[in-house]
């Protein structure tokens, strides 16, 4: 197994990874408190951080790597709810509301993660108002993202539209504004299918369609989105209608 080398940072105050939007981007005092309660760990790809239904005994703050959050039904069907990036906190809503993790979390790319026990974390947001504010901000953002996904599922009338919407969200993450966007696809067709609630074969076919309509170029895992604007018109386009060549 080829493990990318992770440069572990044990001391939060000295951590160069802290950026805007990071959960751990709080006042120095709070960071000191955080520093003594956290447990730093690393995980290889494929590890499970937690599983749907398990008692939630703490939160995971993602320093490096990426994590897939998903849920699945009894018959094995999977829905990917979110791909977490560095700076995000996982399991927050679970330790507050449910007591059980409501989703499963699997490591996609090797991760460094800080774990904080449920009780200690709740103490932290109780005592430090800036941490509480960060928690509110992060939950609001997660909530917003969830609604975006519901919109995609409910309002888009064709699967092509859903795929186009998903690609546009990739553009937002990667894109440097407007114009063509080039990015590396870290997902298999199967995973893409699970994100938009369709079948693997349909994703394969749609990617072919998009190529033929010259919306995208796809070579291996290199995806080039020619024009986000044209993709946007696919999202709302009525079923079946295709660009005429």
Interacting residue with its own copies among 62, 125, 160, 231 (CB under 8 A): 125
Which residue ranges make up the site for DNA (CB under 7 A)? 1, 157-160, 188-190, 197-202, 204-205, 207-208, 218, 239-240
Residue closer to its own copies, measured from CB, 205 or 232: 232
For residue 88, the cross-strand partners are none
Q: Is residue 13 a contact point for its own copies (CB under 8 A)?
A: no
Tell me which of DNA, its own copies, none is bound by residue 51, counting a contact when its beta carbon lies within the kind-specific cut-off of 5 to 8 angstroms. Answer: none
DSSP-assigned beta bridge partners for residue 218 = 223
164 binds, among its own copies, DNA, none (CB under 5 to 8 A by kind): none
Give me the residues paired with residue 202 across strands.
none
List the one residue from 25, 33, 45, 139 that touches its own copies (CB under 8 A).
139
DSSP state string for 20-50? TT-TT---HHHHHHHHHH-EEEEE-TT-EEE
Name the binder of 189 from its own copies, DNA, none, CB < 5-8 A by kind: DNA
Select the binding partner of residue 188 from DNA, its own copies, none (C-beta < 5 to 8 A, by kind): DNA
The secondary structure of residue 134, as a DSSP letter, is H
When CB distances are held under 5 to 8 angstroms depending on the partner's kind, the choice from its own copies, DNA, none that residue 177 binds is none
Q: Collect contacts of 186-193 with beta carbons under 8 A, ≥24 apart.
A: 186/66, 186/108, 186/109, 186/221, 191/68, 191/80, 192/163, 192/166
Among 10, 77, 184, 208, binds its own copies (CB under 8 A): 77
Alpha helices (runs of H) in the chain, residue ranges in sequence order: 28-37, 92-93, 118-127, 129-155, 159-174, 189-196, 200-212, 228-236
CA atoms of 221 and 65, how far apart (whole Å): 18
- Residue 48 contacts its own copies per CB under 8 A: no
For residue 2, the minimal CB distance to its own copies (Å) is: 33
Q: Residue for token digits 């790809």? A: 45
Q: How far is the CB of 207 from DNA (least distance, A)?
A: 6
User: Which position has the token pair 């990917």?
Assistant: 80
Which distant-in-sequence residues (6+ apart) come within 8 Å of 90 by Cβ? 49, 50, 59, 60, 61, 62, 67, 69, 84, 105
Helices (H) and strands (E) in the chain — how many of each?
8, 9
Q: Decide whether 40 or 202 has the Cβ nearer to DNA.
A: 202
Give 16 or 240: the residue with its C-beta nearer to DNA.
240
17 binds, among its own copies, DNA, none (CB under 5 to 8 A by kind): none
Which residues are near its own copies by CB under 8 A? 71-75, 77, 79, 81, 92-94, 96-98, 102-103, 125-127, 129, 132-133, 135-137, 139-144, 146-147, 149-151, 153-157, 197, 236
């Amino acid at each position: 197994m080829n493990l990318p080398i992770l440069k572990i940072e044990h001391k939060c105050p000295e951590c160069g990874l802290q950026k805007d939007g990071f959960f751990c981007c709080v006042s120095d005092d709070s960071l000191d408190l955080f520093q003594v309660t956290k447990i730093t760990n690393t995980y290889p790809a494929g590890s499970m951080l937690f599983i749907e239904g398990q008692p939630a005994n703490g939160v995971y703050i993602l320093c490096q790597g990426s994590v897939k959050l998903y849920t699945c039904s009894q018959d094995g069907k999977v829905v990917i709810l979110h791909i977490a990036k560095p700076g995000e906190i996982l399991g927050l809503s679970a330790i507050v509301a449910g007591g059980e993790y409501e989703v499963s979390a699997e490591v996609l790319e090797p991760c460094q993660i800080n774990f904080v026990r449920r009780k200690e974390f709740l103490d932290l947001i109780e005592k430090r108002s800036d941490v509480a504010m960060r928690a509110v901000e992060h939950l609001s953002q997660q909530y917003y993202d969830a609604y975006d996904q519901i919109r995609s599922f409910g309002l888009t009338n064709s699967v092509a539209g859903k795929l186009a919407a998903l690609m546009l969200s990739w553009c937002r993450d990667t894109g440097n504004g407007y114009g063509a966007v080039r990015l590396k696809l870290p997902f298999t067709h199967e995973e893409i299918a699970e994100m938009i609630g369709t079948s693997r074969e349909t994703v394969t076919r749609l990617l072919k369609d998009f190529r033929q309509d010259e919306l995208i170029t796809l070579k291996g895992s290199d995806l080039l989105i020619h024009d986000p604007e044209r993709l946007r018109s696919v999202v709302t386009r009525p079923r079946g209608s295709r660009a005429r060549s």
